[in-house]
Chains A and B, each alone.
Chain A
């Protein structure tokens, strides 16, 4: 039945054959969103418009004219993408109540394919953070906190301590999107990735997280953080699904002049990928301080898998890796200082009641609208951009950026096809642990393995690999050459088939007709 339809392509087939209708599918997902509300993955659920879209899709299927494989497929979108008629908040007071007049290009493309937009997902405020804990709507909870796998491994310290205090973070900043996909409320979700914001939560939530090459997918309508590094990210439950979504999104957009003009051809991945002719690079600097021994072991095992399949696996060096985070810190805050200047209360968003002067209104609006993290980055960025600091910090960081990008060029130029690295240093930490450190410290720690790919604009993907000793997902990352997503995803698919990552056994509270709450093991999902 419906419970078996976990992967998008299964669902597409089912829709085509009439085993399930788009409206049934939509209703089912909406119900699941309701029953998993405690995850706080969604900021806005667009129930009415989603059902309307589902009805339109149903009409098309009845006529035998679906728009494509995405027709009728429920999706979710991170709340930093503009969606016409639907509130777009960036999880900030600055944009609470902001109803966008237009769709981001990627949103429009999905809607044009008939996808059903269920809602907008939660994030760190303005995508600044690595936990999805710093938004005004509260933190997102990792669905795996409520999995049988995690519960079996956790030892409550006392009888009264329950899952309420034990829940783990999703990672960030696209935590809502990752949680939405992980908990089956949608089949695919859009995230964004500037320093790892799609891959990090993908790793912690056990889903596929793809960061495409910079310039492949339009950023028009994605509220910008760092214009030279931001990309829309794709989160799905399997690599094949990511390839399909990529196929519908990639390509030149006249509204985003940073998208390349090359013709993009959507591709299908081989059903039996072959990695025997490939050269896999293992960058030694990614054995970073703090990397858990568990993940180190998994990384090593993965390298062996490739070796045994006949691939050439070699150690390589990316010497400037450890400066990537510092470089990012300067460039990111500098671009943020510029990008956040648009929020002044005049044209959209929050506006302070202060009206003595334009400047004081701007200052008060921004004081009221931004959280500490955002304000901190704006101030730091302005510091690095001061005349006396420009050369020593901003230009210096741009030079270091080139060195980082060149490291990759050298390695790929020497015959390596794909790099294999860990995605995160450890599995997801409990929320109460995570908040002990401040946002900047956390981001610096958590982005270490993902950030360099953004520096160099390269495509990278997290593939869920195994469960940790605590019963939580651990993923590994593949980094590919610019615009070689097909090769990257082929390798990722091969790896996915090898590791057979287990399905989450989510225990969801289900409400009966007569408002009686009942714990029900969703064995139907496994």
Chain B
């Protein structure tokens, strides 16, 4: 069962990752098909499990500042920076709509 183009476009937007080609889309279809086997299992009355350590209390440490002041260290790894800021291109510009975007999905 193929996945709707609208959903594919939506996924690309959410993930900020593209399918790139028909193979990428087929990969998703196979992944869904594979995952559908889960529905063979009867899970009535079963609680979802987040973590195998669910019976334990999460460790919370004291709210004391014990390290930091490493701005220079952290900025070293960024490509675009100005003084102590990471520099991003202009925000609040949504990705072009599917129809306007350069994506092979247009042809589907």
Q: Do A and B bind each other?
A: yes
Residues facing A in B16-31 (CB within 8 A) are 16-20, 23-24, 27-28, 30-31
A193-214 to B contact mask, C-beta < 8 Å, 1/0: 0000000000000000000001
B73-97 Cβ-contact flags toward A at 8 Å (1 or 0): 1101111100000101111011100
Greatest chain A CB density within 10 A among B10, B11, B30, B41 is at B41
Once the chains are docked, how many angstroms separate the CA of A306 from the CA of B12?
54
A346 within 8 A of B: yes
Distance in angstroms between the alpha carbons of A348 and B91 in the assembled complex: 19
Q: Which residues of the other chain, A, contact B41 by a CB distance below 8 angstroms? A: 320, 323, 396, 399-400, 403
Hey, what's the 0/1 contact readout for A370-411 against B, CB within 8 Å counting as 1? 101001101110111010000011011111111101000000
B48/A399 in contact, CB under 8 A: yes
Given A370-B17, A375-B18, list of 11 further CB < 8 A pairs?
A261-B59, A348-B77, A361-B88, A366-B17, A367-B17, A378-B15, A379-B19, A393-B38, A398-B48, A399-B48, A440-B31
Evaluate contact between B17 and A375: CB separation under 8 angstroms.
yes
Distance between Cα atoms of A233 and B89 in the complex (Å): 40
Say yes or no for A345: interface residue by CB 8 A criterion. yes
Residues of A within 8 A of B (CB): 98-99, 101, 214-215, 228, 252, 254, 257-261, 320, 323, 326-327, 329-330, 333, 337, 344-349, 351, 354-363, 366-367, 370, 372, 375-376, 378-380, 382-384, 386, 392-393, 395-403, 405, 438, 440, 444, 456-457, 482
A362 to B18, CA, bound (A): 11
Q: Nearest chain A CB to B90's CB is how many angstroms away?
A: 6
Chain A residue nearest in CB terms to B44? A399
Chain A residue numbers with a CB within 8 Å of B108 are none
Q: What are the nearest 10 A-B pairs in CB distance?
A: A457-B52, A398-B48, A357-B93, A348-B77, A399-B43, A402-B49, A380-B31, A355-B89, A101-B73, A399-B46
Give Cα A357–Cα B77 distance, bound, in whole angstroms: 21
Give Cα A261–Cα B61 distance, bound, in whole angstroms.
Answer: 11
What is the bound-complex CA distance between A376 and B29, given in angstroms? 11
Minimum Cβ distance to chain A for residue B24 (Å): 7
* Residue with the highest number of chain A CB atoms closer than 10 Å, among B12, B52, B86: B52
Nearest chain B CB to A413's CB is how many angstroms away? 15
Q: Once the chains are docked, how many angstroms separate the CA of A403 from the CA of B48?
A: 9
Nearest B residue to A258, CB-CB: B53
Is B65 in the interface zone, CB < 8 Å from A? Answer: no
Give the docked Cα–Cα distance between A281 and B46 (Å). 26
12 A-B contacts (beta carbon < 8 Å):
A99-B77, A329-B35, A357-B90, A357-B91, A357-B95, A376-B24, A376-B31, A378-B17, A383-B11, A400-B41, A400-B43, A456-B52
Count residues of B near A (Cβ-Cβ below 8 Å). Answer: 56
Q: Is the CB of B32 within 8 A of A383?
A: yes
A363→B94 CA distance, assembly (Å):
12
Residue in B61, B76, B90 with the greatest tally of chain A CB atoms within 10 Å: B90
Residues of B close to A214: CB separation below 8 A: 52-53
Residues of A near B35 (CB, < 8 A) are 326, 329-330, 380, 384, 393, 397
B49 engages A401 (CB within 8 Å)? yes
Cross-chain contact A405 with B59 (CB below 8 angstroms): no
Contact residues in B for A344 (Cβ distance below 8 Å): 16
Whether B79 and A101, one on each chain, are in contact in the complex, defined by CB atoms closer than 8 angstroms, is: no
Pairwise interchain contact B90-A358, C-beta atoms closer than 8 A: yes
Contacts of A215 in B (CB 8 A): 52-53, 56
Chain A residues, Cβ within 8 Å of B95:
357, 359-360, 363
Among B10, B24, B43, B88, point to the contact of A396 (Cβ < 8 A).
B43
